[in-house]
Each structure stands twice: as structure tokens, then as C-alpha cells.
Structure 1
Amino acid sequence: MDYLESKTVAVLTINSLDDLEDRIKKLIKSGYDVLEVTLRTSFAIDAIKIIKTAFPEVKVGAGTVLTIEQLDECVNAGADFGVAPGLNKEIILKAKTYNFDFIPGVATPTEIEAAIQLGINLVKIFPAKTLGGIDYIRAISGPYHEMKYMPTGGVTEDNHKEYLDLKNVFCVGGSWMF
């Protein structure tokens, strides 16, 4: 996932396609070239297709992937990667058959260990702030020092650099740029 070198994933929930291209242009101008479109609205799949067509240089992830059907739709829409709030073994295994980058969510050491067993080395910590934020990630990085983390949920413009300063934080996701 070399394209996550920018370290910040702009998380979008699309409620309308009307001004989508203008919004994406503004994000790109502000330095955001990795996006996550959440599958929380009926516009999400179309938004992924539009963004990938109009801005092929932008890496577009599909967020809140909860089912195999959603995973299939995201892959077919041209998404570059997928993200989930939880750890679903079937979705992870299906993503591997596509050779599709997938970041499952975890909240507990047991889920981190399940991710390790599935060959995952990058997980989403969600909801990061509610789980204890920076202190929580610092604590779990002790026993799980080889795991990389993508905290989301409570990551803000004011605190995202503190998260990124942690050795095991690979990138952060947030919506403060809107």
C-alpha cells in the first residue's frame, strides 16, 4: 500500500453527486490524494466510479465494507482498497482472492490476533478516540509491535500529527478537511 505514503486518508460520506468533482479538486489542491468513500449512502459506488474516471491518479478506498456483496461492488467500481470498521474473516479471504488491499477494523487484542492469523499487517483502529486514542495505540503496540495501525474515529486536524508520531501508526483517516 505504497500509495498511503501521504499518511492521511480523507474520509468522505457522499450525500450528493452534484458537486463531487469540485470537492475532489479542492481536496487534491489541499494535498489529499488518498480518499475513502464510505458506503453509508446510495451514492457511494457511483462516487467511486466518478472519482476513478475523472481523477485516475487519486487512490480511492471504499469504507464501511460490511458484506461480500459490497466488496464485490467496490472492486467492480474500481476502488483501490477497502476498509471496514470490524474484522470479518470471509470478507478478508474474498479480498485476497481479488488481490485487493483490505484494512479490517479492530478494537481488541483478540481481534488483532485474529488479523495476524489471517496474514493482515495493517488494521484500522476504530473508534480510536473512544478506545483510548493515542494511549491505547501506544499500549497495544507493545505486544503487537509488528502490526501497523490506521486510527479513525476521533482523529482530528488538531491531533492527527500526534497519532502519526507513533511508531506503529502507518496512516490516519479523518474528515476534518471538510
Structure 2
Amino acid sequence: MVNKGGGAGVQVTAYTQTLSDIEARIGNRAKAGQVVGNFNNLFMLRVRETATAELLTRQLPKVEVYATALMSGATDSSDPHGNTAFTSNTQDRISSNSVPLIEPAHVVALPKGQCFALIEGGNLWKVRMPLPAPDPDEAMPKDLQELAGYMRQHYVEAGDWWENQGILGLQDKALPDDLLDDFKQMDSAEEAEA
């Protein structure tokens, strides 16, 4: 489905905690790699399995990192009667090393609510998602049981709402008087046209 679905307009969004989950479900490492290879975009939150983190890090290029080294030295003069007792020199040396852009350890250490996204043909993004505020909301129930109890107490059968026959005895009372008058005028105008 992932391989052929794109041409048919099918978009597949899949979530797994580890790469091993896909392999365990399919039963074959090569086929699991084939499934993973057919996805275009990759969003990776914090993972615990290094092999899963390497799914992202192996696709990234290496980058050049420059380092500077300060070299200094001094040399004593061999002429005891000369004007200089010693000579010194100082040099700045710049060297470059090729290192991976992201290591698997960076993915394993991601904070909550952050991820790396490899999208649009290999563009790497660092994403920070907003998290819900920890402040309690007075309007929200304390737990799902309280919410379900409130819904059971206030449940009303909607009936044929599209024909305005839903809530018995409340059809006319549910609307304010000015809206109710407008509704009756529209209804009578439609009957006159028919």
C-alpha cells in the first residue's frame, strides 16, 4: 500500500516506537526496510533504540567542523652577550574534521515535545511542538469518568434535526424570538414559492 498508494492519491501516515516493531510485524528485515524506504517524510521524536535513531542519522550528510589550536613557543638565545635573551612565537592553526550532522545520541536525548523532521527530499528541521499548559482549567473535568457522567445526565436524542423535529417541546423555545420570527418568515416564503 505504501509503495503503490502514492500514484492512486493515497497518503499513509504511520507511527511506531521502534524500527524493530515493523520488522516484528512483517517478519522479515529486508521487507521491513522496503516498507520504511517507501515513506517520504520522517519525523523522529525521542527514541530508546539506537537502530531506530540511525534510521534518521544515516540519511544525513557529514559536515566539516573547524577547530583552532593555539601554538606558542620560546627559544633561549645561545649568545650570553647579545641584546636578546630569548625569542618567542605564537601561531593559530585551523584544522577541519568531517563529523556526522547528528549522532544517534542526539535523537535519544531529545527533550519532550521536540523532534527532528526529514522532509521535502531530505531537508532537516528541528521541530519544537507546543505542549499543553500545566495550569488546571476550571471548566475541564478532573477525569474522564466525570466527563462521561456529565454526558450521560445531559444526553438528549437529536432525532431528525434536519427537519427541526429533534428535541420534543423545545423546537420553538430553543431559538430567540427574533430568530424564530425570521425562521417562520423563511419557512412561509418557501411554501409560497412551492
User: By the TM > 0.5 criterion, same fold?
Assistant: no
Structure with the largest fraction of helix: 1
**TM class by smaller structure:** under 0.3
TM-score, normalization by structure 1: 0.26
